[in-house]
Amino acid sequence: QQPVQSPQAVILREGEDAVINCSSSKALYSVHWYRQKHGEAPVFLMILLKGGEQKGHDKISASFNEKKQQSSLYLTASQLSYSGTYFCGTGFVGDGNKLVFGAGTILRVKS
Amino acid sequence: DAGVIQSPRHEVTEMGQEVTLRCKPISGHNSLFWYRQTMMRGLELLIYFNNNVPIDDSGMPEDRFSAKMPNASFSTLKIQPSEPRDSAVYFCASSFRYRLDIQYFGAGTRLSVL
């Protein structure tokens, strides 16, 4: 039931783009994206609901493909501050606000 | 505004001892979550409450773990007796709504059981 995230890790140079994917074997109702910096708590980025909508703010956006049961997080023109581990949390119908988190994708942005 | 407050930040104890972790959710939030994070298992949900009532405790690993929420502003996670494999970072999170809402995480408690 744990969603599968890919890639496991990625290294970028400042200004490069990245895509992080999150796939579920179970029908999704919502996908929540969080970023965690080393030694800190996870911090919310955005929520997507089934319906295929795309959300974003600044240079980070995400999409939700209901048919494929997957979500993708897009980081555009990456900055050093984007470094961290990105987690997707998946929500299912009838489970309230319960989330099942993926194993995470480690993103490192180099200058 | 104060965020989710957890205490202690670090706990070192010996195997067999009782450990109590504490959490104060954001005022006005109705749902509270306890997570455990390890390198091997990632971020796992242990239990969550809605309006102080436990809704799903299927993630609690075994009977040594228990959680309570006596009121809207306080929750505890207790491990008795503790074992070395319980070593992890334990996060508490809270959200305002019961569904489809942002979860705000506390800074976590790093537990080491020797």
Q: How far is A16 from chain B, CA to nearest CA, in Å? A: 27
CA separation for the pair A32, A26 (Å, rounded):
15
- To which residue do tokens 């180099």 refer? A110
Q: What is the pLDDT of residue A1?
A: 82
Two structure tokens written together for A7: 């890639």
Two structure tokens written together for A82: 């984007």
Q: What is the pLDDT of residue B14?
A: 97
State pLDDT tens for residues B32-42.
Answer: 999 999 998 89
Three-state SS string over chain A comes to CCCEEECCEEEEECCCCEEEEEECCCCCCEEEEEEECCCCCCEEEEEEECCCCEEEECCEEEEEECCCCEEEEEECCCCHHHCEEEEEEEECCCCCCCCEECCCEEEEEEC
Q: What is the pLDDT of residue B82?
A: 97
| Cβ <8 Å between B43 and A101 | yes
Q: Flag whether pLDDT at B85 surpasses 90.
A: yes
State pLDDT tens for residues B45-70.
Answer: 999 999 999 999 999 988 999 999 99
Q: What is the pLDDT of residue A68?
A: 87
| Cβ <8 Å between B31 and A102 | no
Name B34's bridge partners. B47, B92
In degrees rounded to 5, what are phi and psi of residue A52? 75, 15
| Cβ <8 Å between A97 and B31 | yes
Span B92-100, average pLDDT: 87
Q: How far is B92 from chain A, CA to nearest CA, in Å? A: 10
Per-residue pLDDT of chain A (111 residues), as tens digits, is: 899 999 999 999 999 999 999 999 988 889 999 999 999 999 999 989 877 666 666 789 999 888 889 999 999 999 999 999 999 999 887 777 889 999 999 999 999
Q: What SS3 state is found at B76?
A: strand
